[in-house]
């Protein structure tokens, strides 16, 4: 049995996976969304204190489930990327358990864990192209094996998830912004969405950019405020316009990528991959290009320990263990940026 621990941002989560079958046996998560919502984003100090509270509660639940920790053979822990103060909370729990139980510690790359959200209770499929859209990242990754993953395109500025969050914040709505913006966008009648310029329209290579679009939504809100109170119908038209343009930008990059890559399967992962409009549009593009699309179950799109434990199983099999007494806590199989197709 392997225990996975996730604390890279505002979700405390633990999961137990069988090391032989990779089957997810138990998982539990305590989210902090309501605590951060008044600030319109994650406050690291607050997140850290809440992990200090919630991780031991989750560990107790795992212990109750297992009738003690005797069956644990390894601990997998997200060590990067993420908020340093919250990563350390999880790492301390992981090191304490590994030390007390005399079992190996496996450092996990959070991005690799998101990719493995596609393979919960399933064997992995390689080669695989992945579009990773989260609060911290917007990437195209090529994965040729569990330890062989390269970032081939990334955002030049903001991530897509962060942009959803900012649009919600600018409209005075809650955090996380993605689900709020998605549901408001649904209320916009067809063809009535606000029009925004497609980011990096004339860029020839593969890259994402969301800061210009974010700024354009800010200006549209300011102009509307000058006219008076911002109506619900304006909010819906703005959210629909933002979501449509941001998704068109993802599609524009994927088209270019598909034209240059022989890999037949695309995985869509990260918090934003829970967005049904994004899923639908990418699904249609995959059909057009004859690519298979892999999606994670909705409950595993945002941060969770099940995906951490799932990578942990692969790395346990390769004996990719990390030292307990070391200040370098980087996972051995970090994703590297190796830009391709810079046309």
Contacts of 70 (CB under 8 A, 6+ apart): none
* Residue 162 vs 303, nearer CB to Zn ion: 303
**Contact call for residues 35 and 44 (beta carbons, < 8 A):** no
267 forms part of the interface with ligand KG4 (CB under 6 A):
no
How many Cβ atoms sit within 10 Å of the Cβ of residue 259?
A: 10
Distance CA 129, CA 293 (A): 10
**Strand pairing partners for 130?**
141, 267
215 is in an annotated binding site: no
* Residue 178 vs 312, nearer CB to ligand KG4: 178
Q: How many residues bind Zn ion (CB under 5 A)?
A: 2
Residue 69 Cβ vs ligand KG4, minimum distance, rounded to whole Å: 27
Footprint of ligand KG4 on residues 177-206 (CB under 6 A)?
177-179, 182
* Residue 72 vs 184, nearer CB to ligand KG4: 184
Burial class (CB in 10 A: 0-12, 13-18, 19+), 289: middle
* Residue 96 vs 215, nearer CB to ligand KG4: 215
In the chain, the N- to C-terminal Cα span, in Å, equals 46
205 is in an annotated binding site: no
Q: Which of 141, 231, 139 is nearest to 192 (CA)?
A: 231
134 forms part of the interface with Zn ion (CB under 5 A):
yes
275 forms part of the interface with ligand KG4 (CB under 6 A):
yes
Cis omega (within 30 of 0) on the bond before 127? yes
Letters for 279-318 (x = contact with ligand KG4 by CB under 6 A, - = none) are: -----------------------xx---------------
Footprint of ligand KG4 on residues 135-154 (CB under 6 A)?
135-136
11 forms part of the interface with Zn ion (CB under 5 A):
no
Distance CA 323, CA 105 (A): 7
Q: Site residues (CB under 6 A) for ligand KG4?
A: 9, 134-136, 161-162, 164-165, 176-179, 182, 270-272, 274-275, 302-303
């Amino acid at each position: 049995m392997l225990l996975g621990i996730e604390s890279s941002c505002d979700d405390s989560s633990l999961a137990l996976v069988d090391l032989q079958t990779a089957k997810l046996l138990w998982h539990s998560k305590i989210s902090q969304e309501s605590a951060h919502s008044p600030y319109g984003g994650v406050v690291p100090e607050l997140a850290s204190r809440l992990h200090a509270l919630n991780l031991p509660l989750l560990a107790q639940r795992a212990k109750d489930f297992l009738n003690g920790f005797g069956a644990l053979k390894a601990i997998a822990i997200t060590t990067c990327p993420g908020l340093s103060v919250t990563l350390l909370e999880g790492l301390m729990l992981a090191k304490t358990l590994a030390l007390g139980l005399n079992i190996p510690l496996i450092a996990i790359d959070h991005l690799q864990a998101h990719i493995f959200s596609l393979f919960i209770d399933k064997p992995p499929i390689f080669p695989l192209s992945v579009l990773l859209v989260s609060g911290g990242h917007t990437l195209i990754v090529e994965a040729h094996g569990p330890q062989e993953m390269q970032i081939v395109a990334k955002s030049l500025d903001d991530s897509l998830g962060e942009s959803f969050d900012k649009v919600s914040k600018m409209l005075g709505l809650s955090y996380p912004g993605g689900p709020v913006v998605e549901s408001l966008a649904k209320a916009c009648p067809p063809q009535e969405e606000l029009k925004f310029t497609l980011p990096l329209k004339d860029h020839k290579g593969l890259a994402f950019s969301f800061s210009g679009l974010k700024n354009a939504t800010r200006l549209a809100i300011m102009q509307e405020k000058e006219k008076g109170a911002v109506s619900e119908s304006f909010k819906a038209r703005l959210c629909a316009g933002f979501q449509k343009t941001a998704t068109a930008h993802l599609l524009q990059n994927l088209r270019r990528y598909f034209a240059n890559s022989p890999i037949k399967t695309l995985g869509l992962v990260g918090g934003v991959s829970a967005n049904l409009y994004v899923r639908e549009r990418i699904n249609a593009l995959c059909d057009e290009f004859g690519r298979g699309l892999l999606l994670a179950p909705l409950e595993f799109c945002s941060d969770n320990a099940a995906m951490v434990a799932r990578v942990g199983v692969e790395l346990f099999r390769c004996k990719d263990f990390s030292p307990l007494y070391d200040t370098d806590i980087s996972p051995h199989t970090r994703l590297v940026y190796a830009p391709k197709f810079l046309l």
